[in-house]
Amino acid sequence: METKRFSGKSIVVTGGAGDIGLATAVRFGNEGADVALIDVKDMATAKAKVQQTGATVRTYTCDVTEYAQVERTVATIALDFGGIDMLFNNAGIQGQFKQLHTYPVDDFAQVININLIGAFHVLRAVAIHMVAQKSGTIVNTASMAGVDGPVNMVAYGASKFAMIGMTQTAAKDLAPYGIRVNSISPGFMGPGFMWDRQVDLQAAVGSQYYDTDRNVVAKQMIGAVPLRRYGSIEEIPGTVAYLMSGDSSYVTGVNIKLSGGI
């Protein structure tokens, strides 16, 4: 019987009810991992889909912006699974689409609180357990918005630039304990809610960068991608699996762009 790549391993997936988190959880379930899903949303559907892989799956409701909640949740997961081998630090929100001088101050704070501070909370809490066991792999979800500053998305762009920087620092801080930390930066992904929302909101801004017709905006966005297509959510989990696997055992502090081009 063929041994699956992540048999006997456990993975924590934040944002587990979302498209990227769920697709990645299913991939790891298919490859033998036990899966802990974290989200503030209902995870019943996500849990059922991951269970179809035959994996052991548990769900944990947790607000990543509250460190005490994160700390308790991570400690519970470590007990439930006998340790934490992998973390896909993926929870986040896009926030509003506005030009900087009209961007809502409260929305900026919320995006930073979830995408950056929340990600730090999870990273720190999980790292404590991985340092104790002197092993672990972590992949943070950044974005192409953190590689090439996006228009009309100052909060999201700032949070993802910071995520890439935090990944590089974490990789250096945790390397002495046998822990690798990398990040992925998805670009335009579709079809579905995330794609439609971004197209619609960019069209609504009325800036010089995009048309006000959403159909034109969609073509403009695709036209900026060298491969001339958006990416599929299903194209993300394989990259995460590579970064978690022994195939990347000498890779840390790296940000992989999933952007259809350079």
Give the pLDDT band (50/70/90) at residue 84: very high
What is the Cα–Cα distance from 125 to 246, expressed in whole angstroms? 24
Report whether pLDDT(1) > 80.
Answer: no
What is the Cα–Cα distance from 212 to 191, expressed in whole angstroms? 20
What is the Cα–Cα distance from 210 to 188, expressed in whole angstroms? 15
Structure confidence at residue 190 (pLDDT): 95
Domains of the chain with bracketed CATH: 10-187+232-258 (3.40.50.720), 190-230 (no CATH)
Query: Is the separation of the CB atoms in 233 and 23 below 8 Å?
Result: yes
Condensed to tens digits (0 to 9), the pLDDT of residues 231-259 reads 999 999 999 999 999 999 999 999 999 99
Structure confidence at residue 2 (pLDDT): 65
What's the rounded mean pLDDT across residues 90-111?
A: 98
Is 230 designated active site? Answer: no
Catalytic hit among 156, 177, 210, 230: 156
Q: What percent of the chain has pLDDT over 70?
A: 99
Question: What is the residue-averaged pLDDT of the chain?
Answer: 97
What is the Cα–Cα distance from 179 to 196, expressed in whole angstroms? 37
What is the Cα–Cα distance from 137 to 8, expressed in whole angstroms? 14
Structure confidence at residue 261 (pLDDT): 87
pTM for this model (two decimals): 0.97
Provide the residue type at 79 as one letter: L
Condensed to tens digits (0 to 9), the pLDDT of residues 171-209 reads 999 999 999 999 999 999 999 999 999 999 999 999 999
